[in-house]
């Protein structure tokens, strides 16, 4: 470390600066870019030092399932970006959600989870946590009355994702934070879609923010990862779960995510700009019945998103005529977009939610959630927007 690396220099720094400068701990080699510490364990200078480290009486690394300098750098940077006291990296986004639930819930607790969250999150809460005595209710994200009615004396956690996938429904985080506070529960927000470049849920009163780093934080589809951000006290619990149960973030993946954060702001700006332009263009195409993007003035979540987010995100959905057959024909008619359910990549992706991401729901559940057979989701990447229009035009032409 040199004087120039002093963290005080970042007091009051803006998010773009924190994304590049926070979380750095330079080794004695003086490297400019951050090294990857690919080590499973650490050595001690004496038996007494080993004993002190193991006992937690002396700070320092013991084993990479517990701590690793590369992982710590990513954690510090994420805490800085989300405005939280501490962060904990995890192997995947699901590991981050699992760790949060296991660390902060007990048998007998009640969770209210938005119906409109990532499908695997629904399975984690509904299929597994319920086996261990956690009660779970799923409530439509925007049904405020149902959320209030669902609160019980043992409600310990509210879990939401905003904007929702793929319809871009926008939840009022501050209102959810108030509801959680009144219920004596924690508000957990999955911020994967916005990233801290667009939305910082802790500033609106959320207790915990978590991410699938696999998406926009990496931004180039290279690795899996997750992270949880919150108070020091809560993160100590999450950390203890992870080091005990194992789904820790690998140093290599932490490094990919750490470097990915350096370009997060610029990438999100480009994703959002192209998505808005594509949304407007799609609205004007005769084959398109409806476009779902909170950046459009006629989207019900527009005003709230404009207040709560600095831009509208990189994912949109649109409905074509002809139900499933129409949607499949349109998707198969494109030539460049990647046909995959991933998102938050430099490469744009296109997918049919009703038969992939939301395929396990019953037709009734899908209808209730607004996932129609003609719905197509596009996660907009970093290609030139005119080339994306040209490819989607090919898809729409296939409907003729």
Ligand X SMILES: *Cc1c(COP(=O)(O)O)cnc(C)c1O
Is 226 a binding residue for ligand X by CB under 6 A? The answer is yes
Residue bearing tokens 């700009």: 273
- Is 327 a binding residue for ligand X by CB under 6 A? The answer is no
In Å, how far are 40, 174, 192, 377 from 343, measured between CA atoms?
Answer: 31, 27, 10, 10
Which one of the spans 50-58, 61-69, 92-100, 320-328 is the region binding ligand X (CB under 6 A)? 92-100
- Which residue, judged by CB position, is nearest to ligand X in the bound state? 93
3-class secondary-structure state, position 203: helix
**What is the 3 state secondary structure string of the chain?**
CCHHHCHHHHCCCCHHHHHHHCCCCCCCCCCCCCCCCCCCECCCCCHHHHHHHHCCCCCCCCECCCCCHHHHHHHHHHHHHHCCCEEEEECCHHHHHHHHHHHHCCCCCEEEEECCCCHHHHHHHHHHHHHHCCEEEEECCCCHHHHHHHCCCCEEEEEEECCCCCCCCCCCHHHHHHHHHHHCCEEEEECCCCHHHHCCHHHHCCCEEEEECCCCCCCCCCCCCEEEEECHHHHHHHHHHHHHHCCCCCHHHHHHHHHHHHCHHHHHHHHHHHHHHHHHHHHCCCCEEEEECCCCCCCCCHHHHHHHCCCCCCEEEEEECCHHHHHHHHHHHCCCCEECCCCCCCCCEEECHHHCCCCCCCHHHHHHHCCCCCEEEEECCCCCHHHHHHHHHHHHHCCC
358 scored as a contact of ligand X (CB under 6 A) = no
The one among 68, 155, 168, 214 contacting ligand X by CB under 6 A: 214
Site for ligand X in 289-318 (CB under 6 A): none
Q: Closest approach of Cβ 31 to ligand X, in Å?
A: 29
Minimum gap (Å) between residue 393 Cβ and ligand X: 28
Q: Which range binds ligand X by CB under 6 A, 104-112, 117-125, 150-158, 296-304?
A: 117-125
230 vs 395, beta carbon nearer ligand X: 230
- The reply on whether position 192 binds ligand X by CB under 6 A is yes
Binding of residue 89 to ligand X (CB under 6 A): no
Instruction: Work out how close the CB of 161 gets to ligand X at its nearest, in angstroms, rounded to a whole number.
Output: 5
Selected binder of ligand X within 23, 69, 84, 93 (CB under 6 A): 93
Candidate ranges 35-43, 49-57, 88-96, 372-380; the one touching ligand X (CB under 6 A)? 88-96
Which member of 22, 64, 70, 92 binds ligand X (CB under 6 A)?
92
Tell me the site size for ligand X, rule CB under 6 A.
Answer: 15
Report if residue 345 touches ligand X, rule: CB under 6 A.
no
Stretch of residues binding ligand X (CB under 6 A), selected from 91-99, 137-145, 201-209, 372-380: 91-99
Nearer to ligand X, 226 or 230 (CB): 226
Residue written as tokens 């939840």?
171
The span of 72-80, 211-219, 232-240, 382-390 binding ligand X (CB under 6 A) equals 211-219
Which of 68, 100, 164, 212: binder of ligand X (CB under 6 A)? 212
CB of 193 vs ligand X, minimal distance in Å? 6
Residue (158 or 399) nearer to ligand X, CB: 158
Interface with ligand X, residue 118, by CB under 6 A:
yes
Q: How far apart are the first and last CA of the chain?
A: 64
According to the binding rule CB under 6 A, does residue 224 interact with ligand X?
Answer: yes
Write phi, then psi, for 140 (nearest 5 degrees).
Answer: -55, 135
Mark residues 158-187: x for contact with ligand X by CB under 6 A, - for none. Answer: ---x--------------------------
Smallest distance, ligand X to C-beta of residue 145, A: 25
**Least distance between ligand X and beta carbon 174 (Å):** 20
Residue 219's region, left for phi above 0, alpha for psi from -120 to 50, else beta, is left
Check binding of 215 to ligand X (CB under 6 A).
yes
Q: How far is the CB of 276 from ligand X (least distance, A)?
A: 20
* Calculated CA dihedral for residues 40, 43, 47, 48, nearest 10 degrees: -100
**Interacting residues toward ligand X by CB under 6 A:** 92-94, 118, 120-121, 161, 190, 192-193, 212, 214-215, 224, 226
């Amino acid at each position: 470390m040199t004087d120039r690396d002093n963290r005080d220099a970042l007091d009051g720094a803006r998010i773009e600066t924190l994304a590049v400068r926070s979380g750095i701990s330079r080794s004695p080699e003086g490297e400019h870019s951050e090294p990857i510490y690919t080590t499973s364990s650490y050595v001690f200078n004496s038996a007494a030092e080993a004993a002190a480290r193991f006992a937690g009486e002396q700070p320092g690394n013991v084993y990479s399932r517990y701590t690793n300098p590369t992982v710590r750098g990513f954690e510090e940077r994420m805490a800085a970006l989300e405005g939280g006291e501490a962060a904990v990296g995890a192997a995947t986004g699901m590991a981050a959600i699992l760790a949060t639930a296991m660390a902060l819930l007990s048998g007998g607790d009640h969770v209210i989870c938005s119906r409109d969250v990532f499908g695997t999150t629904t399975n984690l809460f509904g299929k597994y946590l319920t086996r261990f005595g956690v009660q779970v209710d799923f409530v439509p994200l925007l049904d405020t009355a149902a959320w209030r009615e669902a609160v019980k004396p043992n409600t310990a956690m509210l879990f939401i994702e905003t904007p929702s996938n793929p319809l871009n429904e926008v939840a009022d985080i501050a209102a959810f934070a108030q509801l959680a506070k009144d219920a004596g529960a924690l508000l957990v927000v999955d911020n994967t879609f916005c990233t801290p470049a667009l939305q910082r849920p802790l500033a609106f009163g959320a207790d915990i923010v978590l991410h699938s780093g696999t998406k926009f934080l990496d931004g180039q589809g290279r690795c899996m990862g997750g992270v949880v951000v919150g108070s020091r006290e809560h993160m100590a619990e999450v950390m203890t779960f992870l080091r005990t149960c194992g789904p820790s973030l690998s140093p290599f993946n932490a490094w990919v995510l750490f470097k990915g954060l350096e370009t997060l702001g610029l990438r999100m700006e480009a994703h959002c700009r192209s998505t808005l332009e594509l949304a407007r263009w799609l609205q004007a195409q005769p084959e398109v019945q409806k476009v779902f993007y909170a950046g459009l003035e006629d989207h019900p979540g527009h005003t709230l998103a404009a207040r709560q987010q600095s831009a509208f995100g990189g994912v949109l959905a649109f409905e074509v005529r002809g139900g499933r057959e129409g949607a499949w024909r349109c998707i198969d008619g494109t030539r460049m977009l990647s046909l995959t359910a991933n998102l938050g990549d430099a490469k744009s992706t296109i997918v049919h939610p009703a038969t992939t991401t939301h395929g396990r729901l019953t037709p009734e559940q899908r209808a209730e959630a607004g996932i129609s057979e003609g719905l197509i989701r596009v996660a907009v990447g970093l290609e030139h927007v005119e080339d994306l229009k040209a490819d989607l035009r090919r898809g729409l032409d296939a409907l003729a």
